[in-house]
Each structure stands twice: as C-alpha cells, then as structure tokens.
Amino acid sequence: MKGQHEKMWQGLGLDLGAHDALLEVLKKGYQDVYLAQKNRPEGMGYLDFVMSEVHGLRIKELIDEKAAGRKVIGSFCVFVPEEIVRAADATLVGLCTGADFVTEEVERFLPRNTCSLIKSAFGFKLGKACPYIEASDMIVGENTCDGKKKSYETLKDLVSGVYVMDIPQMKSQEGRALLKAEYFRFKEAVEKLADITIDADRLRKGIEIVNNKRKALHRLSSLRKANPVSVSGLDALLVNQVQFYDEPVRFTDSVNKICDELEVRTGKGEGVFPESTPRILLSGCPMAVPNWKLPWIIETAGAVIVGEESCVGERGVRNLTDSSGSTVDELMEAILDRYFKVDCAIFTPNPERLDHIVEMYDAYQADGVIHYSLQFCQPYLTESIPVEKALEARDIPTLRIETDYSLEDLGQLKTRVEAFVELIG
C-alpha cells in the first residue's frame, strides 16, 4: 500500500516516516495475530484486504467522496448517530484509538493517568499518523466519561472542526430530553456542514442502511451461539472493528457472505475450535483496531470468545432503529429511542448492563466472563466490581482484567487467563 499512496498521505499532512513505521508494526501484528489462525472462514479474506488498505484505498475513497462534495465526520463513540450522518450523504468514520503512539508527547497535553484510548487519539493526531482524523470535516467529541469530556477541550486546540455533543448521565426523562435536544442540534450541524436539508425520506434511507449493517452483525453474533463455534472471537472482533471504517453497504454484503459460509459450517457441525473448548464472554471497554492483546491471549490460552458485551460488539449494535415513521420528528424520536438504550458505564445507575451480560452469558452458552477495563477508566473499572460480585452470586465464573495498550503485562495476563481457562474448562 505504501508507494501507491504516499502522495495522498503527504497531502493529508501525515508524517511519512512515523506513518510507515506504524504500518509496519500493524502488518506484523496482523500476521502474528490474524493470519496465524487456522481454519478461518474464506470470507475473512475481504477483511484481510480491508485491513491491508485501511490507511490506503479506504482513505482514497473518502478523499474521492470529499472531492465530489460529500463530507466525512469522525467520531469516538457509538452515541454519534450514523443514521443522521448518512441522511446527509456524509460518511461517519471511527478515529484511530487502538494503539499507543508518541506517548511522551501526549503526556505534555494530558495527565499520565488518562486511559490508553484517549491517549491514543491524541497520539495519532500529534504524531500525524491517523489519515481518518486528517480527512474529517467534523470531529464529534461526546461528553461521556470525564477523561474524554475534558480532553476535547484540549483537542480543540490541536485540530479544527471539533464539535462537542453533550450526553446525559442518567436514564431519566430529563436525560432523554437532553439527548433529544443534542440529536436535533447535531442534525442541524450536519445539515449545515453538508449543505443538505434532511427530510423524512433521507432520514429513513439513512436508518435503513445502518439497520441493515446492524442486522448483518446480529446474524454473525447469532451464529456464534452454536457449539462448536464456526468463527473465532478474534475474527468476529475484527468484523465489529471494521464496521467503523468501511463503506456500510459493501461491508453489510461482505458480512452477510461470511454468515452464509458460517451457516454451512455450522450445519455440518464444523468449528474453528473443538466442541469442548471453554467459551468466554468478553465484557467491558471497547477495543479499537489494533487492540487485539487480550482476545489473542484468551484464544491462544485454549478458550474461544463467543460474544463481546462492548461498544465494539453487542452494546454498540444491539438495537435497530424503527424506520416506520413518516415525518422527520417521528424518525428522530425512533433514533432517540434506539440510542437511549445504550448501556454505557457512564450512566448512573446502569442496571441494564448487568442484565445484558447475564442474558448474553446464557444465550452464547458461555462458561465464564472476562471483564476488561482499561487502566484509569473510572466508569468501567468502578462498575466492574459490582458486576463481578453480581455474576459470582449467580455462579458465573468471572475474571476482572485491568490493562492498557502496552505489552508489558503480557506474561502476567497470560498466566491469569490460562488459570481462569483451566478453572472453567
């Protein structure tokens, strides 16, 4: 991908040396973690291609779209409604937040005890290595956790086009009213940016595109309920990660093709791991590309991940948006209904999340739950303690992991995960 795209990266202002080094690490990591797996579905070849061109052809597509007058909007959170962005013929992309980059430089702007995800966003910006942020016409920051909320104040000085969306912290009537007002304000901002008025037809079309993508992801999740399971947790995670970058209609078709293949495999009783493999439900913070450390440890420790209770997983895609409304107001209300159900740990109290973990544990026939929190992530770390207690009270084996993006704790994590897998096996 390198030579072919250098001019484009230069045009975006990337630091070519740093960016090349990043791509090398990414390529090696992908080979070691993904291509080393056995018995992968053939359809994953599409994802391999997307990953090999994630900073190349996909960026070219975005630049071509921009040249044709369309807008690109970058986001860090699943509370940003893609339906509204699609309704304005714009494209929503997830921004790079899954790896450490120029950490020393980042710590000149953020406290050391900031979670890796936020530091990563800053690192990619400061190190000039994320083509998505450079290609974005608007970057939506959301007031979710304190770390993100405060860091956007600083991000505004580093990058233009930052738009801050307020997010409620309670599932109350007032909370809902706040989210409603914010979604209408966002719609107006997107209309202004794209110079398009969003009418009911446009909004419905946007909802349908996003619903279809989520339906394909639901289909994939559902196939993971089988034993033996026909796809690894690593591959399923990759599909969930790529949904934030790829063109949605093409992505939906590709996921449906993978599901067709998995249905055949499941019908024949074929699995990627033997039937007796301990099944893990992973729960907690989102995992952005290329944060594959913990899933890789789990699946090389003799277990298989059958579901992710995460924003890069089921929490992010669980519900569809009702597209039956005939007016913009009705459709906006449906969007609000859908997003207000997202049970992120920033909400207090947040009992639905525990219910969903238990539901998923049963539905995916899991043998244990691994709760994953990023170091310094107050919402998920704090919630992990009552979650663990509640799960153990139901006799659900639970392992609480706190980690970051570095590889320093690899050995220690491996030991803990292997002991847990042995216990539940």
Site residues (vs ligand BJ8, CB under 6 A): 77-79, 115, 117-118, 144-145, 147-148, 285-286, 311, 342, 344, 346, 374, 377, 379-380
Q: Are 163 and 141 in contact (CB under 8 A)?
A: yes
| Calpha distance 93→346 (Å, rounded) | 22
Tokens read off for 373: 């929190």
- Residue number, 118 or 396, with CB nearest to ligand BJ8: 118
Collapse the DSSP code of 170 into the 3-class scheme (helix H, G, I; strand E, B; otherwise coil) and give the result. coil
- Residue number, 150 or 205, with CB nearest to ligand BJ8: 150
- Residue number, 78 or 401, with CB nearest to ligand BJ8: 78
Tell me the closest approach of the beta carbon of residue 158 to ligand BJ8, in angstroms: 17
- Residue number, 144 or 230, with CB nearest to ligand BJ8: 144
- List beta partners, residue 304: 279
Q: Which of 307, 224, 234 is nearest to 271 (CA)?
A: 224
Please report the DSSP string for 315-352 in residue order.
HHHS-PPP---SSHHHHHHHHHHHHTT---TTSSS-HH
- Residue number, 136 or 144, with CB nearest to ligand BJ8: 144
| Calpha distance 358→352 (Å, rounded) | 10
Tell me the closest approach of the beta carbon of residue 119 to ligand BJ8, in angstroms: 9
Tell me the closest approach of the beta carbon of residue 42 to ligand BJ8, in angstroms: 31
Tell me the closest approach of the beta carbon of residue 191 to ligand BJ8, in angstroms: 24
| Calpha distance 250→194 (Å, rounded) | 23
- Residue number, 145 or 387, with CB nearest to ligand BJ8: 145
Task: Note if the bond before 228 is cis, omega within 30 degrees.
Answer: yes
| Calpha distance 289→241 (Å, rounded) | 6
Tell me the closest approach of the beta carbon of residue 384 to ligand BJ8, in angstroms: 11
- Residue number, 80 or 391, with CB nearest to ligand BJ8: 80
Tell me the closest approach of the beta carbon of residue 347 to ligand BJ8, in angstroms: 9
Tell me the closest approach of the beta carbon of residue 326 to ligand BJ8, in angstroms: 30
Q: Are 50 and 246 in contact (CB under 8 A)?
A: yes
Residue 301, amino acid: A
Q: Are 41 and 254 in contact (CB under 8 A)?
A: no
